[in-house]
Amino acid sequence: MVAEPGTGEGVAEPDLDALQKKLGYCFATPALLRTSLVHRSAPNERGADCPESNERLEFLGDAVLDLVIACELFERFPQAPEGELTRYKATLVSETALAQVALRIGLGQHLILGRGEDETLGREKPSILSDALEAVFGALYRDGGMDAADRTIRKLFAVELKTVSDRSAPRGDYKTALQEWTQAQGMGLPSYRLVNTEGPDHAREYTVAVLLKKQELAQGTARSKREAERSAAQQALEQLTGQPDG
């Protein structure tokens, strides 16, 4: 049984067979995949049936993803300098990119959430989706080793890898782009303010607001203050110019 978003049935079991087909990988130990889908809001509600969240696997998967993407970029762009490769990697492993991949494989419908998180559309939250996808990568590594993780990650990110050079051009520096635009319009310089911090130390989420002349333009939420500022700047720029910046 798969939970329906927003129904409060956040403790329903995920369809592991369907998800494995999307991943293109069959787990020798399906319990690993199941654990990768358990949001931290669920264990308190399910007790012995759901004793562990996906946070440890997320920690592992984050490292596995970084290595696979770095190797792929190193091979794909043999002439690119280190700074350019760093920009590309930052684009590919960002919360936004991970959430897009997670949505494409329907990961949200398989998550095991607490009722409160499910009722507030947790299955659609980029932070939850991106964390869960990293946990899945951690489970892949534990189950099938680096080869299995490498093949799956490269396949899932095939679209993003083909377009990363366009999406990671210098204009992708949204903070600089926003500053240049507001200065050109005679509007002064934007500033950033930390609005909220939540989550445990190893999985903090930061919400940052970007302001112009003390008026809030937009907010961004991410796993680091820098990424949250970047997200806020991107949204503000899109609102001000009426079109996405790259």
Residues 132 and 180 grouped into a single domain = no
Instruction: Assess whether 26 and 50 both reside in one domain.
Output: yes
- Statement to judge: residues 202 and 225 lie in one domain: yes
Residues 64 and 106 both lie in one domain: yes
Name the pLDDT band for 116 (thresholds 50, 70, 90). Answer: confident
Model pTM above 0.85: no
pLDDT in tens, 13-24: 899 999 999 999
Query: Residues 90, 186: one domain?
Result: no
Domain boundary among 132, 165, 198: 165
Does residue 155 share a domain with residue 37?
A: yes
Boundaries of domain holding 43: 16-165
* 124 and 179 both lie in a single domain: no
Chosen domain end from 103, 138, 165: 165
Find tokens 């350019």 and name the residue: 84
Distance CA 107, CA 123 (A): 8
pLDDT at 9 over 60: no
pLDDT value of residue 184: 67
CATH of the domain at 195: 3.30.160.20
> At residue 48, does pLDDT exceed 80?
no
**Catalytic: 62?**
yes
Higher pLDDT, 209 or 117: 209
Same domain, 194 and 120: no
Among residues 165, 192, 223, which one ends one of the domains?
A: 165
pLDDT for residue 172? 57
Q: How many domains does the chain have?
A: 2
Q: Confirm whether 8 is domain-assigned.
A: no
**Which of 10-14, 74-78, 180-184 shows the highest mean pLDDT?**
74-78
Q: Is residue 30 part of a domain?
A: yes
Residue 2 falls inside a structural domain: no
The pLDDT of residue 24: 96
Q: What is the mean pLDDT of residues 80-90?
A: 81
Spatial distance between the Cα atoms of 156 and 170, rounded to a whole number of angstroms = 25
Give the model confidence (pLDDT) of 210-231 as tens digits. 999 999 999 999 988 989 999 9
Is 134 part of the annotated catalytic residue set? yes
Among 48-52, 105-109, 158-162, 164-168, the range of highest mean pLDDT: 105-109
Based on the domain organization, do 41 and 158 belong to the same domain?
A: yes
- The helix-helix angle for 158-167 and 82-92 (nearest 10°) equals 130
Query: 161 and 187, same structural domain?
Result: no
**What CATH number does residue 79 fall under?**
1.10.1520.10
Residue 104 belongs to some domain of the structure: yes
pLDDT for 169 equals: 47
Catalytic position from the list 62, 118, 143, 227: 62
Residue 165 has pLDDT above 80, yes or no: no
Answer whether residue 1 is part of any domain.
no
Half-sphere exposure of 55 (CA within 13 A, CB side): 13
Q: Are residues 138 and 198 in the same domain?
A: no
How far is the C-alpha of 225 from the C-alpha of 205, rounded, in Å?
A: 8
- Is residue 76 situated within a structural domain? yes
Whether the per-residue pLDDT at 93 is higher than 60: the answer is yes
Which position among 58, 72, 95, 134 bears the catalytic label? 134
Answer whether residue 190 is part of any domain.
Answer: yes
7, part of any domain: no
Domain check: are 57 and 161 in the same one? Answer: yes
How large is the angle between the packed helices 158-167 and 126-156, nearest 10 degrees? 110
Task: In whole angstroms, give the CA distance from residue 57 to residue 55.
Answer: 5
Query: Cβ-count burial of 158 within 10 angstroms (0-12 exposed, 13-18 middle, 19+ buried)?
Result: exposed
